Structure 1
Amino acid sequence: MSETLLILGFIILLLAIHDFFYTTLSASGGGFISENVAILSDRIIQFCAGTIGRKAYDYHGLFVNLMILFVWLLLIWLGLFLVYSSNPEAITNSSGRAAYNWERLYFTGYILSTLGMGNFKPVSPFFEVVTSCFSFFGFIFFTSSMTYFISVSSAVVRKRTLAKSINNLGNQPEIIANKLLSLDPSYSYQQVHTLQELVDQHSVSHQAYPVVHYYSRSEEKDCFSINISRLDEALSIIVYSNKGENLQEEIGLLRAAISNFLQNLDKNFSRSLPNIGKQLNEQDVPSYINEIDSKNLNERRRILKSLLKSEGFSWNNVIAEE
């Protein structure tokens, strides 16, 4: 028996299984493997978008999700194959002949797919136990993956609902600000409260299921980055221009919800977001902002601009009419 292959196989299995369960069941973010696979997949999509156009963004999140699932499966398959390969006599066919390498690879996949053992079988108690454990794990792997994808799909729907709700208010920050200020007060309260709930829900989903971050859209009006930037800028207009005195408390709560999301984005996704610099250009500072508040606005804009750039946009897309 090759102890090196056995140890290496179990190390790969432990790393992959830990990453799988942490990502799918902890609701606390992604594991080390899934996080790096997501970043690599994101860069592939960015390259494709630069080559074939924005249509590539419609497949952004789907591609990242499938790549993570593929790497999990590949690592578990490889790890278990190395464990079986540590003893060439461990797996035999129906006539008692030891399996070849490609036959052990086939047997490994057959076990993980929960189909059974087929025409090969383990011949020692240790490998019989290993086979039983990973037959059971294969069932857990696929059911947990499906449950995770359903949760991610629900989070993506909430993300797109938020983007659509903002877009319905207007396609420029000034239009959104004027719309919130001109509506009947009771309806304005309801709109702001609904937006706050949607932002909070997305912030929680974004942290629990990081792959949600990579779901985008090719059309500008449907993109989350554009719409959340427009909403935040509209709230800045209202707050710093001292308009809408009756809405200041509700606007403050909504802006705080966006602040929490931006802090999480900056803390947990800095590696996947492009660096756009720390300072605002002078022409970016609007007339309604004073010098004391410019530092806060600068930090918000820095994160939002980085989010925009990750989807192929700039600040001009936020302030210019479509």
Structure 2
Amino acid sequence: MSSQLQLLFGAAVLLFVMVDVAWTTLTTQGSGPITRLITGGFRFASAQVHAISGSRAVLAMAGPSGIVAIGGVWLLGLWGGWLLVFCAFPGGIVNAQSGAPADFAERVYFVGFTLSTLGVGDFKPQSEVTRVLTALAAFNGLVLVTLVITYAVPLVQGAVTRRKLAFSISLLGSCPQEMVLRAWESRKSGGFESALEQVSADLIQCSEQRLAYPLLDLFYCRHQRFSLGVQLGRLDEALSLLTQGLQPNCQWHSFTVENSREVVSQYLYRVERKHAAANLEAPPIPAVGLLKAKGLPVVDNQEEVFCRLEDRRLRLHNLVRAEGWDWSDVEHDPLTGVGG
């Protein structure tokens, strides 16, 4: 490869990597092409390993491993791009003591310690052009390290926010039926609606965080109580029962409840995936035997009610499955034994 081609190819690699870095870390429009590919690969690989082993410990490592992998690919991309650039100047890097031109392995070493800003000094740029390029490479490495750190911290914070929200929803009830019962019993005091207001505010934040940081999808939880997908499935099923599964004169259509439904819809839109399973079916309708036994005025034909919600429930099912759970986890809490 000629020196001109090496220079052009190296510059193209650097531009492509830095566009991906800037797109991923400095915008709120999701990930760049490299990051998107790595995220999809980790999601697929972790799902396959989980399906084979059945262990959620594998899923729990996906998020941290994804951050390390993305940072590593960015670093290797810059390393390779700058190596091509410096190789375009055969005598541009020399041994600081002997003055002999650096060979390929020594150029790899020179680019590495330049990007790390260590400044070892046993090799140095010889010409004015390579001196300027060395300064640019050192600055490029410093910028990359800074952006990786500033990207990783909000990711961890976002994962904590999701866990906090999921736990808050779990306090409303361990299954959709229990949530409905508690809402019905507290309808005069307004306790359920007060909790819904806080849940809606936190869910809006999680929705926007997910749009800015799609890698958050790789931060799986080991227990369903901290899984936002499972808890949103329970909450939305409960709200469906309250707004459409009761007798017309008893249905719950307050401002707070309707807003909460809209916020859940927005979150489902944010996490909609093109790679959803083609054979995914709408989940079974929730059992209402417990509600009838407690005297709640539920309608008899629940199939007709939930048939109208099929698209919404398919999205919920996809969200639950994407987090490594089954719909049975939504309808049943293994700790309490409550559920459909």
Counterpart of 2:57 (choices 43, 49, 55) is: 55
Q: Secondary structure at the match of 1:29?
A: coil
Q: 1:211 aligns with which of 211, 215, 231?
A: 215
Aligned to 1:16: 17
User: Residues 197, 238 of structure 1: CA spacing in aligned structure 2 closer, same or farther, 3 A cutoff?
Assistant: same
Gaps of 5+ in 2: 288-299, 335-340
Higher helix share: 1
Aligned residue identity for 1:259: S
Cα deviation 1:63-98 (Å, max 9, x = unaligned): 111111111111111111111122332211112111
Cα displacement string for residues 98-144 of structure 1 (whole angstroms, at most 9, x for unaligned residues): 11211111111111111125211112222221111121121121122
Change (3 A) 1:275 1:308: farther
Q: How does 1:289-300 map to 2 (within 5 A)?
A: 289=302, 291=304, 294-295=307-308, 297-300=309-312
CA–CA distance in 2 between the matches of 1:155 and 1:97?
51
Q: What is the deviation of 1:294?
A: 2.8
1:127 is matched with 130
1:310 aligned partner: 322
Distance in structure 1 (CA, Å) of the matches to 2:121 and 2:278: 52
Is this contact kept in 2: 1:239–1:248, CA < 8 A? Answer: no
Distance 1:257 1:18 in 2: 32
Shift of 1:252: 0.6
Asked if 2 retains the 8 angstrom alpha-carbon contact of 1:232 and 1:255, the reply is: yes
Deviates more, 1:141-150 or 1:254-263: 141-150
- With structure 1 as the length reference, what TM-score do the two structures score? 0.91
Query: Per the alignment, in what secondary structure is the counterpart of residue 324 of structure 2?
Result: coil
Does residue 253 in structure 1 map to residue 259 in structure 2? yes
Consecutive unaligned residues in structure 1, runs of 5 or more:
none
- Identify which of 197, 203, 211 aligns with 1:193: 197
Partner-residue secondary structure (3-state), 1:121? strand
CA contact (8 A) 2:245 2:251 kept: no
Question: How far apart, in 2, do the equivalents of 1:68 and 1:157 lie?
Answer: 20
1:202-235 Cα distance to aligned partner (Å, 9 max, x none): 0011111111122111222222211111111111
Structure 1 or 2, whichever has the larger Rg, is 2
1:153 aligns with 2:156: yes
Q: Kindly tell me: are residues 253 and 289 of structure 1, through their superposed partners in 2, closer, same or farther at Cα, counting changes over 3 Å?
A: farther
Tell me if structure 1 keeps the 8 A contact 2:286–2:331.
no
Q: Which amino acid aligns with 2:238?
A: A
Bigger CA drift: 102-111 or 175-184?
A: 175-184
Give the letter for the 2:312 counterpart.
R
The secondary structure found in structure 2 opposite 1:197 is helix
Q: Which AA in structure 1 matches 2:37?
A: N
Q: Deviations over 1:295-318 (max 9, x none)?
A: 4x2111211212222233221221
Contact in 2 for aligned 1:276/1:305 (Cα 8 Å): no
* CA shift in 2, pair 1:104/1:7, >3 Å: same
> Which of 91, 94, 111 is the matching residue for 2:93?
91
Q: 8 Å contact 1:274–1:310 — kept in the other structure? A: no
1:320 shift after superposition: 2.3
The aligned residue for residue 313 of structure 2 is 301
